[in-house]
Amino acid sequence: MASKEAKLAMSVTLFKYSNRVILKTILCREDRGLGLIGERVVIGGWVKSSKEIRKEPTSSPPRATLPLVGQKEVSCVEILQTKVPFFRSIIKAFSGGNQPPRDKLDSAVSKPTPLPLPPPPPTSTIFLQVSDGSCTASLQVVVDSSVASLGHLTQTGTCVLVEGELKQSKEQGKHAIELKAEKILHIGMVEQDKYPLSKKKILLPSLRDFPHFRPRTTTVASFTRIRDALTYGTHTFFQQNGFIHVHIPIITTTDCEGSGEKFHVTSLQGKASKKEEPKAADEVNLAVVKAAIKEKTKLIEELNRTESNREALYAAMQDLKKTNELVSQLESKERELSKDPLKAVSFKEDFFARQTYLTASGRLHLESYACALGNVYSFGPRFRAEKVETSKSMAEMWMVEVEMAFSQLEGAMNCADDLLKHLCKWVLENCSDDMKFISKRVDRAIVDRLVSMTSTSFEKVSYAEAVDILKKATDKIFEAKTEGAVALNEEHLSYLADEVFKRPIVVHSYPKELKPFYVRVNDDGKTVAAFDMVVPKVGTLIRGSQNEERINVLSTRITEMGLEREQYEWYLDLRRHGTVRHSGFSLAFDLMVLFVTGILDVKETIPFPRSYGKANC
């Protein structure tokens, strides 16, 4: 049995869908691949760097050679020189050996001059560092000039497919093994003057202009593998805890958050998007109404001069009052249209025949499934059209959203706490090589911070308590004042987590004006059952709440926030038919990757970042 296991340990594993061996299966073994020495493999990847060593030929003494067939300008003298021994033997035989012909023959034929052989051509060997993206390490590939034209292989970014034998590296240290190339099966060459990664050093912000090449860098590749592990860990957590994965729509007719800028979805373009329906015969024009007010005001002034027609004066005054109210309504409508010109557009000819948006949150749609299936979650992109650009916000960000039936605020907090700790532990256990690289290149304290997160409890503080702490702070001057019901921004929350409590915190019981309309109103009528989970170095990772199940309270909140009730009739139906207390939360997945990697800008953690004014491909 032991010999069989040893034999299996010595063999390589082919990728199921091609004949190549993935480098991770070679380089990430405990023996660093030494157990595979002697194995013949095919590997593929991209050249990260190269080094060439030239071997000069050794010199040898010149010697005479026979003229080769086809050699140019061979004289008769040169031919005779090669036959001198033969002629001497014949002359000696006929003369009986008494008169040696040496002097005469030597004078007739010149002494031979030896011809040197041409020196052998110089040879070269190149050492390529090849990566296929499966791990942070690269494999050293040794190629001799007799195997391939070396000039095509040395450029950074060149794609190669190589067949050869794994050997122990002659240079001890970084590489335990190397691949001695026997065949080059494919070369994908690079236009070096146009390839952005040809430079020795290029900063991450500069790479954003080339998002299609970013994953070829070791740092971005590492971020991507960590992101993949977090994705798998997220699904694992929910599947192990009895949640059902639900896909919610990206296109919606509902303003999910009830605030903020939205991306409008329409197939109407150009002039067609501004086409209005013919005006109805009874549609009122604001300018006409204002002109009518002037006429009615004059009439009242004339009636005031005479005391004979009190009834006419009263009627004229009532008429003027109604006209003023109409003007106020028309002006209000014009102000709304100036803020959102699409309200004046006719959508009957549009693709969906009504106004639609890219969803900013999936929690409302998840509620309908939670009210049927119990515990559900969704994982996907969300969109916000705010024209701002910060290091922790983007126009398109991925969110993990959760809804749980029969669960209240405390249950949502506990679930969010468990998820966060699970993901930190998952990365430490499944991304050890990438985390070693990250701690070396990005943040030396990142591993210790994640270990601490797996065992640290969150400090819970109410919004009122948090504001009181911020007001009493003497060692910090905040740009935004904490007067009245103001939202705690990143500056405030980072100060609380990093400086005051020095640990993750949960801020709860916000004023109702600061949270979405669907959050449950507390018994005091002023605050709502909402919470924000804040971690050091990043800020808010999770926002959650217990949602309002009382239809009368929810209807009042919709009216108070000036939302279009028609959009939310389906949502109110959930309260009319089998209502239930429920809670949930949203985890900003891109910020989770930011927290785990220790990088400062969320744009580096997103494969193709979309921000205000920037969408490169």
pLDDT at 564 over 60: yes
Pairwise CA distance, residues 139 & 50, whole Å? 12
Is the predicted pLDDT of residue 64 greater than 90, yes or no?
A: no
pLDDT band at 278 (very low <50, low <70, confident <90, very high): very low
Look at residue 307 in the predicted model and tell me its pLDDT.
Answer: 64
Q: What angle do CA 213, 215, 221 make, to 5 degrees?
A: 165
Phi, psi for residue 519 in degrees, rounded to 5 = -75, 140
pLDDT tens-place string over residues 221-241: 999 999 999 999 999 999 999
With 60 as the cut, is the pLDDT of residue 71 above it? no
Q: Write out pLDDT tens, residues 129-144.
A: 999 999 999 999 999 9
Q: How confident is the model at residue 327 (pLDDT cuts 50, 70, 90)?
A: confident
Residue 563: band (very low, low, confident or very high) from pLDDT cuts 50, 70, 90: confident
- 53 Cβ partners below 8 Å, 6+ apart? 124, 125, 126, 127
Query: For every residue of 310-359, which 3-state class applies, written as one string?
Result: HHHHHHHHHHHHHHHHHHHHHHHHHHHHHHCHHHHCCCCCCCCCCCEEEC
CA 548, distance to chain mean position in Å, is 35
> CA-CA distance, 435 to 447, in Å (whole number)?
7
Distance CA 557, CA 550 (A): 11
| pLDDT, average across residues 111-135 | 79
pLDDT band at residue 112, thresholds of 50, 70 and 90? low
Q: Which amino acid, one-letter code, is at 605?
A: T
8 A C-beta contact, residue 388 and residue 429: no
Question: Is residue 329 over pLDDT 70?
Answer: yes
Nearest residue to 188 (alpha-carbon basis) of 145, 127, 123, 132? 132
Residue 335, pLDDT score: 63
Distance CA 398, CA 362 (A): 11
CATH 2.40.50.140 fits 2-55+122-199, yes or no: yes
Instruction: Tell me the DSSP string of 140-175.
Output: EEEEETTTS-GGGT-STT-EEEEEEEEEE-SS-SS-
Question: Quick one: CA dihedral 83, 89, 95, 98, positive or negative?
Answer: positive
C-alpha distances out from residue 524 to 412, 458, 534, 558, 584, Å: 21, 25, 25, 19, 22
Beta-carbon contacts of 322 under 8 Å, excluding residues fewer than 6 positions away, are none
Measured CA distances, 301 to 310, 442, 557 (Å): 12, 79, 45
Contact 289, 326 (CB under 8 A): yes
Cα(94)–Cα(109) distance, rounded to whole angstroms? Answer: 20
Give the residue, 424 or 174, on which the prediction is more confident: 424
pLDDT at res. 518: 95
| 155: Cα within 13 Å, side-chain hemisphere | 18
Strands (E), 56-191: 123-131, 139-144, 159-168, 177-188
**Cα 172 to Cα 25, 128, 536, distances in angstroms:** 21, 16, 41
Average pLDDT of the residues in 475-481: 76
What CATH number was assigned to the domain covering residues 220-262+355-605? 3.30.930.10
For the stretch 171-187, pLDDT in tens is 767 788 999 999 999 99
CA 445 to mean position of chain CA atoms: 23
Whether residue 161 contacts residue 185, with contact meaning beta carbons closer than 8 Å, is answered with: yes
Percent of the chain predicted with pLDDT > 90: 52
226: nearest Cα among 542, 592, 541, 538: 592
- The pLDDT of 529-543, averaged and rounded, is 94
pTM of the shown model: 0.78
Q: Are 499 and 515 in contact (CB under 8 A)?
A: no
Task: Please give the backbone phi and psi of residue 532, each rounded to the nearest 5 degrees, phi first.
Answer: -125, 130
On average, the pLDDT of the chain sits at 84
Range among 145-154, 331-340, 441-450 with highest mean pLDDT value? 441-450
Residue found by looking up tokens 């791990």 in the block? 135
SS3 273: helix
**pLDDT value, residue 90:** 58
Q: Across residues 153-161, what is the average pLDDT? A: 94
Neighbours of 7 (CB within 10 A): 9
Mean pLDDT calculated for residue range 269-292? 57
Lowest mean pLDDT among 262-276, 423-437, 602-616: 262-276
How far the first Cα of the chain sits from its last, in Å, is 55
State residue 241's pLDDT score. 98
C-alpha distances in Å from residue 460, one per residue of 146, 327, 411, 505, 571: 69, 51, 14, 6, 31
Q: Pick 274 or 141 by higher pLDDT.
A: 141
Q: What is the distance between the alpha carbons of residues 606 and 81, in angstroms, rounded to a whole number?
A: 81
Residue 367 has pLDDT above 90, yes or no: yes
The answer, yes or no, to whether residue 405 has pLDDT greater than 60, is yes
